[in-house]
Structure 1
Amino acid sequence: MIPSFYNWRTWLALLALTIVTGTIFYSRYLAQQIAQEERDKVELWVNASKAIFDNPDMPLTLPNMIRNDQTAIPIIETNEQDSIVSFINIDSAKAAGDPGFLQKRLREFKRANEPFILVLSDSPYIANKYYYGNTRLLKEVQYYPIIQLVIVGILIILLLMLLNTRHRSAQNQLWAGMAKETAHQLGTPLSSLQGWVEMLKESGQQDAITHELEKDVNRLKLVSDRFSKIGSTPQVEPTDLVVQVETMLDYIKRRASGGIRFEFHKPEELPLIVPLSPTLFDWVIENLLKNALDAMEGKGTISIDIRKSGQDIIIDVADTGKGIPGGNVNKVFDPGFTTRKRGWGLGLSLSRRIIEQYHGGQLFVKHSEPGKGTTFRILIPQQQKTV
């Protein structure tokens, strides 16, 4: 088996790191070359200035550095007390309109580069200083690695999101295929069991055992129907939500131990008609109730509270069980996560998907405290578009 270190994500990260590192080093090299070239130009300009000062009659001209483009070097000339004498390649309009503009630029130049000193006279000592800043070209070269790092980071994030979406889509197709195959495999023994139940009824076996056996066979048919619907667009129809929840609660009651107490709080306004996929919605309520039973280990209280809040219907399913540790609250809806020894950890993940994708609502942990219990909340809009 190939070590996990050598997976595609690692190689992608290494490639991105190599590109960015190479760019940073090369950009620094270019910046150093440009900075040295600019300093050489300023030095040439200062020396030309000195030659003109020493020989006023000599037909010399200053090197052409006064160009309004990205290679123009801004220079401020000061005396020995750093009072500004003149400047070039700096916005004269801003300098005239803002008294502090040149001083601000002078401070920037002092931080950026060492000045050139031109001695005009030894006795008395007179000297001018020439401070200069970086050209626009040099600044662009210096900031280029940061810009490229941001672009590469964005591209990597987009690529990871695309691959993650593709991976989830493949997983969803796999689960849908497994669910449909399970429903198909259940079909044959279910038909046989249904036939045996009908034979028992025809032979006069109308006792409680036959009745309960028929209900369990019908239950298996419902489970098979749920699995067959995974991956397909469910039919949403106007349904009395209170009756739907109460029917599932009665089913769970008959299969719970005597130490479990059930409470059901209905809204005042009845009936409560909501667009639902009854088969899939039953699955959600059943999962929440079974999780509550597992959490209480045979003793405690399960309560369901249904009420309206504006345009939403709130359904709280609470138990007095062992609760969820704080570190696991955000994981309980992850596919495969479970704290039980048995089970695949898909119940809550599928339940959330059913509520969010097929009913336009939300399913989340409203509150949980270890040792005191958990409350799951379902929010469903009373009016919604048919999926």
Structure 2
Amino acid sequence: MFQQVLNWRTLLALLAILIVSGTVWYSSYLAKKIKEDERQKVELWVEAGTYLLNPANTDMEAMRVPSLVTTHNKIPIIETTEKDSIMQWVHLDSAKVEEGWRSDDKVKDPNKNSFLLDKLDEFRSAKLRVEWTDPKDSTKRNRYYYGESQLFKEVRYYPLVQLFIVGLFIFITIQAIRTSYRSTQNGVWAGMAKETAHQLGTPVSSLEGWVEILKETHGDEDFVPEIEKDVNRLRLVSDRFGKIGSTPQLDEKNVVGQVRGMVDYVQKRAGGKVSFAVQTKDEDVRAKISAPLFDWVIENLLKNALDAMEGKGKITVAINQSPTDVTIDVTDTGKGISRQNIGKVFKPGFTTKKRGWGLGLSLSKRIIDQYHKGSLTVKHSEVGKGTTFRIVLKK
């Protein structure tokens, strides 16, 4: 049990989770460090500005302050009074500031500039500010609201970008694996089908020869036509398997005629307690199909319906057409399919019957979806009342 769970896929998934988690944690750690550093820079900017405004500071240190104030950081800052009235700002987009002035504002009051007010609200809501109190007048306090630097934004959004890239990589990998799996599965299906057709070919040819001999020697016997029918049936089965894996030729056929032929064939072998009905508004409904493969699908659906009804009930085949599509609904009054099994009915090997390989519906879906470019789905099913399978063909 432990070895089944701890396979290479599980280890790869755990490793990916650890890598992403570690990266997210380290990015959060860096963002926190940068945030603390930027606050220190703003505080230093405030102190430097205060130092510069003091007329008593005329030494060499004061000469370095302008450079410190303007180039030490690129953090956007808005200076306000204690009542949040804007006084000045730095490192904001000058073009957007110009756009924020009202056309009728001749004085250019910063407290009427829409861009500055929006930025102030943004910085205030983020609770990023430093307060400065005048050491000579404690009632005079300025506030310095600041925003996130470009570096901080890049570090903060880096985990999201990385998660997107990792998610995209995982999606592409899964799609590639699924495509590879389907290609392998198709190869297996085609190989099995062709090998089956090859193995049936020799004995069927031999049986056809023996039937011809029987027709010459015992042509009047009743059993000879029946044997011939069974041999022809074997030849049809062999031909069907031979067409799996290769691109079949699609010819325009009357779908109603094809369906009625298969209904008649199955009805003769169904017993008297099962009734059949073919419903259609038009007896000439045409679509491009491979007749042997299409008949195989209809036969599989009808036999599947018979098995679900356990020898008694009704099977209805409704055929409708639109300008673009032909729809064929095969409905039975059998035991139905439970909700948890509806998604599994077309998977190879799935069956609820005591006998059978669980390949009939899977093969049928492959024939309709891949070879006819249509669709085969479970339209409706209710436990105890029956099931409807729907085939849609392009006209």
* TM-score normalised by length of structure 1: 0.90
Map of 2:3 onto structure 1: 3
**Deviation by residue 1:234-282 (Cα, 9 ceiling, x = unmatched):** 1112223222222211111111111111112244353x44322111011
Map of 1:168 onto structure 2: 182
Map of 1:117 onto structure 2: 131
**Deviation by residue 1:189-211 (Cα, 9 ceiling, x = unmatched):** 22333233223222225333222
Would the aligned equivalents of 1:313 and 1:380 in 2 still touch at CA under 8 Å?
yes
In the TM superposition, residue 179 of structure 1 has moved relative to its aligned partner by 1.3
Map of 1:317 onto structure 2: 330
User: Aligned pair 1:283/2:288, yes or no?
Assistant: no
Map of 1:378 onto structure 2: 391
Q: Secondary structure of 2:98's partner? A: helix
In the TM superposition, residue 341 of structure 1 has moved relative to its aligned partner by 2.0
User: Aligned pair 1:82/2:84, yes or no?
Assistant: yes
Map of 2:226 onto structure 1: 212
**Deviation by residue 1:351-378 (Cα, 9 ceiling, x = unmatched):** 1221122222222222222211112121
Which amino acid letter does the alignment assign opposite residue 141 of structure 1?
V
Alpha-carbon distance change, 36 to 269 in structure 1, aligned in 2, over 3 angstroms: same
Which amino acid letter does the alignment assign opposite residue 385 of structure 2?
K
Map of 1:257 onto structure 2: 271
Rounded to whole Å, the distance in 2 between the matches of 1:55 and 1:336 is 91
Q: Secondary structure of 1:62's partner? A: helix
- RMSD (Å), alpha carbons: 2.3
Alpha-carbon distance change, 269 to 228 in structure 1, aligned in 2, over 3 angstroms: closer
Q: Secondary structure of 1:201's partner? A: helix
Map of 2:44 onto structure 1: 44
Q: Secondary structure of 1:289's partner? A: helix
Map of 1:362 onto structure 2: 375
Alpha-carbon distance change, 117 to 141 in structure 1, aligned in 2, over 3 angstroms: same
Would the aligned equivalents of 1:244 and 1:278 in 2 still touch at CA under 8 Å?
yes
Which amino acid letter does the alignment assign opposite residue 232 of structure 2?
N
Q: Secondary structure of 1:343's partner? A: coil
User: Aligned pair 1:294/2:307, yes or no?
Assistant: yes
Q: Secondary structure of 2:337's partner? A: coil
Which amino acid letter does the alignment assign opposite residue 378 of structure 1?
I
Rounded to whole Å, the distance in 1 between the matches of 2:49 and 2:38 is 16
Count of residue pairs brought into register by the alignment: 379
Which amino acid letter does the alignment assign opposite residue 383 of structure 2?
P
Note the 1:87-166 alignment, pairs <5 A.
Answer: 87-91=89-93, 92-97=97-102, 99-112=113-126, 114-123=128-137, 125-166=139-180
Rounded to whole Å, the distance in 2 between the matches of 1:183 and 1:277 is 17
Would the aligned equivalents of 1:66 and 1:89 in 2 still touch at CA under 8 Å?
no
User: Aligned pair 1:248/2:262, yes or no?
Assistant: yes
Show structure 1 runs of 5+ residues with no match. Answer: 383-387
In the TM superposition, residue 36 of structure 1 has moved relative to its aligned partner by 2.9
In the TM superposition, residue 144 of structure 1 has moved relative to its aligned partner by 0.4
Rounded to whole Å, the distance in 2 between the matches of 1:23 and 1:169 is 36
Rounded to whole Å, the distance in 2 between the matches of 1:142 and 1:172 is 46
Would the aligned equivalents of 1:44 and 1:63 in 2 still touch at CA under 8 Å?
no
Alpha-carbon distance change, 266 to 42 in structure 1, aligned in 2, over 3 angstroms: closer
Map of 2:58 onto structure 1: 58
Would the aligned equivalents of 1:65 and 1:72 in 2 still touch at CA under 8 Å?
no
Note the 1:26-45 alignment, pairs <5 A.
Answer: 26-45=26-45
Show structure 2 runs of 5+ residues with no match. Answer: 103-111
Rounded to whole Å, the distance in 2 between the matches of 1:82 and 1:240 is 82
* TM-score normalised by length of structure 2: 0.88
